[in-house]
Chain A
C-alpha cells in the first residue's frame, strides 16, 4: 500500500471513530492503534492476574467462612477478568504466549498498586474498597472504548466488580464496629493504601503525553485527573461514614468547585514502583513465573492427551 493510500484509510478510520462506530478485529486499523491497544489491554490483563496474588495469600486466613467464600469468589473473578482481556488482546494478532512472555520478562507492565504488600486482614477490606473502587471508575469509563472486543470485555467485567468493592467495604464496616485494635488495623490499612490508590489513575494530565491520542481513539474516555477527582469525591464520604480518616492534611471540601481539594501525590514513589523498585515487584514476578513454569508439564500433558484422543484406534 502506498503512503497516500494509508493516509486515506487513516482519515476514514478516524471518521468512523468520531461517528462512534466500533472497530472489530478484522477491520483495517492504523498500526499505532493496534500497538497502543495491545499495550494497554495486555497491561490491564496482567493487572488482573497479578492482582490475584496479594489477595490469594489471605484466602486460607480469612476469619470466617463467609469471608472466605467471598474472597475466593472475588479472586476467581479476577482470573476471569484476566482471561477475558487476554482473549480480547489476542484478537489484535498477538499470541497468549507472547503476552505472558512480555509480562515475565518485565517488558509489559501491570498496575503498580499490586507491588504493595497486603500485611493484615484489614488490607483485604481496603483493597476491595479502594483498589477495586478505583478500577471500577477506570473500567466504567472504558465500556465505551472504540475497540469492540475491549469494550465488551469491560462491560462484562464491570457487572462483576461491584460485589468486589462491597465485600471489601463490608470488611471495614465490621472492623470499625470492633475493638480499638481492629479500628487501628483498618486505619493503618487506609494509611498505607490511600496514596497508592490515587496513583492508580496514572500521572497527571500534564505529565501524560499519550492522553490526547488515547482520547481521540476512545481508548480513554476521561483524563487521569478527572477520574482521580471522581474517585476522591466519592470515596471521602465513605471513609467518614465509618469513622476512618483519610491520611491527607490538605484534604478539604471546595464548595465553589464542588470537589475535594487534595494534597500533593508523591510521584517519585510512583515512578520508583513503576520502574520495579516497589516493595513487592520482585516477589510478585517470582511467584508468577514459578506458577507458570510449574504448570508447564500440566499443559503439556493435557495437550499430549488431546492429541492421543484424536488418533483413531
Chain B
C-alpha cells in the first residue's frame, strides 16, 4: 500500500541574533530527512545557519473565524500603550 511522506514545516534562523522564521514546508519520511531536504530547498544561498522542522500535524493554530473574540478585545485597551498617558511637556526621558 502506498504511504505518502508526511508534511513538515520549516523554520530557519538566518543569522545569530534573529529568531527562527517560518520559511515554508516540505515532505519527508522522517525528521532527519526533513532537515536535509530543508537545507537543500530553503538554504541554497546562505539563507540560514540553523533549521527547525516540525511535522505539520503537531501545530495547533487559531481559527481565523474566532479572530474577533481573540484579538479584538486588545484594540480598546489603549491604556496599555505609553501614549495614553498625559504628562507635562517638560518631562524628558520617560
In Å, the complex CA distance between A76 and B49 comes to: 20
Closest chain A residue to B24, Cβ basis:
A87
Q: Is A90 an interface residue (CB 8 A)?
A: yes
Q: Is A24 an interface residue (CB 8 A)?
A: yes
Closest chain A residue to B45, Cβ basis:
A160
8 Å CB contact of A300 from B3, B24, B44: B3
Q: Is B33 an interface residue (CB 8 A)?
A: yes
- For B6-49 the 0/1 string (1 means CB < 8 A from A) is 01000000000000000011110110010000001100110000
Q: What are 12 contact pairs spanning A and B, CB under 8 A?
A: A24-B64, A28-B64, A77-B44, A88-B24, A152-B24, A300-B2, A300-B3, A302-B29, A303-B3, A306-B30, A306-B33, A309-B30
List residues of A whose CB falls within 8 A of some B CB: 24, 26-28, 73, 76-77, 80, 83-84, 87-88, 90, 95-97, 152-153, 156, 159-160, 296, 299-300, 302-303, 305-306, 309
Contact in complex: B24, A153 (CB < 8 Å): yes
Given the complex, which residues of A lie within 8 Å of B5, measured CB to CB? 299, 302-303
In Å, the complex CA distance between A300 and B29 comes to: 9
Contact in complex: A90, B4 (CB < 8 Å): no
Contact in complex: A96, B29 (CB < 8 Å): no
Q: How large is the interface on B (under 10, 10 to 19, 20 to 34, 35 or more residues)?
A: 20 to 34
Contact in complex: B26, A28 (CB < 8 Å): no
B42 to chain A, nearest CB (A): 8
In Å, the complex CA distance between A88 and B41 comes to: 14
Q: Dominant SS at the A interface?
A: helix
A41 to chain B, nearest CB (A): 13
Contact in complex: B44, A76 (CB < 8 Å): yes
Q: Is B94 an interface residue (CB 8 A)?
A: no
Given the complex, which residues of A lie within 8 Å of B7, measured CB to CB? 87, 90
In Å, the complex CA distance between A309 and B40 comes to: 23
In Å, the complex CA distance between A303 and B29 comes to: 5
Closest chain A residue to B4, Cβ basis:
A97
A212 to chain B, nearest CB (A): 28
Closest chain A residue to B3, Cβ basis:
A303
B12 to chain A, nearest CB (A): 12
Contact in complex: A84, B64 (CB < 8 Å): no
Given the complex, which residues of A lie within 8 Å of B27, measured CB to CB? 96
Given the complex, which residues of A lie within 8 Å of B45, measured CB to CB? 159-160
Given the complex, which residues of A lie within 8 Å of B83, measured CB to CB? none
Given the complex, which residues of B lie within 8 Å of A306, measured CB to CB? 29-30, 33
Contact in complex: B41, A84 (CB < 8 Å): yes
